[in-house]
């Protein structure tokens, strides 16, 4: 089984990816949070930092692009190819209203005629592999039949499927029946993404889909950085290793972020997900999330990870 790390905006930046790989070296492919580029193909500074080879120590990093402009896609694709990236991932899954209102992310799934033209223009000009991360529709799972017919017309390196529609966001049940149809009918390799938080859930998925050998983990792997190791070896999350991982992240952000407030904001983002591993420390986690300075924050961390 191959495991991919899903991109999460503001969370899985290059600092996090590098640090994660130092302590949990078991991810087969990382994806950047989606890159922002203008119509001329110029990337925003933040996006440039994400793909800068000097900033990335992980192997098999795939840049993800969020755009509905084929010219922009092709221009950025050329730049990424010059930097040595041989794959680019197209984001057709982001459900954010600010994204979909512009016809990007899962908003592209609404107009299949435009999507078809867009695919013609990027696949006819691509100089590297293109993978696609998608949902099963915008407002109705039945849309996936038309979408899959489009996907099957192109040499997509991997079709990464999150079996929810855009309007579900990340809530509600996964539509496993539609995913079964995709596995049966897709002419491209399929990778699964969605709601795998425990080893038991991964095992159940593998049992139900023995032909799928690629899984993308997102929130589950953020919550439990040791999830893949636990699946492969049975070893639970090591608190000692997690503490070192935390401290390395904290020290790096302390060097590049100015002031307690900014450092706390960043670290609390992680703890809102990490807290799932420490149900017996609910009181200390609440104190951590309420902390107003680094002294009280670190005191709470000590109490949780003692």
Average pLDDT of span 67-95: 95
Mean pLDDT value of segment 55-71: 94
What is the rounded CA–CA span in Å between residue 62 and residue 21?
15
Q: Residues 47-74, buried b or exposed e (16+ Cβ, 10 A)?
A: beebbeeeebebeebbbbbbbbbbebbb
- The predicted model gives 193-221 an average pLDDT of 97
For residue 126, pLDDT over 80 is answered with no
Strand partners, 222: none
Containing 144, the helix (H) or strand (E) segment is: helix 143-151
pLDDT at 183 over 90: yes
Query: Is residue 59 over pLDDT 90?
Result: no
- Mean pLDDT, the chain, as a whole number? 95
pLDDT value for 52: 95
User: How many Cβ atoms are within 10 Å of 295's Cβ, its own excluded?
Assistant: 10
What dihedral do alpha carbons 171, 276, 26, 254 form, nearest 10°? 110
Residue 35 has φ and ψ, to the nearest 5°, of -85, 145
Is a pLDDT exceeding 90 seen at residue 121? yes
116 pLDDT tier (thresholds 50, 70, 90):
very high
pLDDT bin (cut points 50, 70, 90) of residue 37 is: confident
What CATH number has the domain spanning 2-233? 3.20.20.70
Average pLDDT on 142-159 reads 97
> What is the pLDDT at residue 36?
85
Q: How many helices (H) does the chain have, and how many strands (E)?
A: 14, 9
Q: Measured between alpha carbons, how far is 117 from 119 in angstroms, rounded to an integer?
A: 5
**Rounded mean pLDDT of 119-148?**
95
Q: pLDDT over 70 for what percent of the chain?
A: 100
Measured at the CA of 190, the angle between CA 187 and CA 191, to 5 degrees, comes to 170
Flag whether pLDDT at 125 surpasses 90.
Answer: no
Asked if 36 and 63 touch (Cβ cutoff 8 Å), the reply is: no
């Amino acid at each position: 089984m191959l495991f991919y790390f899903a991109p999460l905006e503001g969370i899985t930046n290059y600092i996090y990816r590098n640090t994660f790989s130092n302590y949990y070296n078991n991810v087969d492919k990382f994806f950047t949070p989606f890159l922002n580029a203008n119509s001329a193909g110029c990337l925003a500074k933040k996006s440039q930092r994400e793909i800068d080879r000097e900033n990335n120590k992980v192997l098999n990093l795939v840049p993800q692009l969020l755009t509905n402009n084929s010219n922009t896609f092709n221009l950025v694709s050329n730049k990424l190819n010059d930097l040595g990236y041989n794959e680019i991932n197209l984001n057709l899954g982001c459900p954010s209203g600010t994204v979909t209102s512009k016809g990007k992310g899962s908003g592209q799934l609404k107009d299949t005629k435009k999507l078809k033209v867009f695919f013609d223009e990027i696949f006819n000009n691509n100089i590297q592999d293109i993978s696609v991360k998608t949902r099963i529709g915008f407002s109705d799972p039945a849309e996936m039949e038309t979408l899959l017919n489009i996907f099957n017309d192109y040499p997509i390196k991997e079709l990464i499927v999150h079996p929810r529609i855009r309007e579900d966001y990340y809530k509600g049940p996964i539509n496993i029946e539609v995913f079964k149809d995709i596995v049966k009918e897709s002419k491209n390799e399929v990778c699964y993404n969605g709601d795998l938080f425990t080893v038991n859930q991964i095992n159940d998925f593998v049992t139900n889909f023995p032909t799928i050998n690629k899984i993308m983990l997102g929130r589950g792997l953020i919550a439990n950085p040791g999830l893949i190791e636990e699946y492969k070896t049975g070893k639970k999350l090591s608190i000692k290793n997690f503490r070192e991982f935390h401290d390395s992240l904290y020290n790096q952000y302390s060097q590049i972020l100015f002031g307690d407030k900014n450092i706390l904001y960043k670290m609390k983002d992680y703890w809102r997900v990490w807290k799932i591993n420490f149900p017996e420390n609910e009181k200390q986690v609440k104190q951590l999330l309420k902390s107003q300075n680094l002294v009280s924050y670190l005191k709470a961390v000590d109490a949780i990870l003692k």
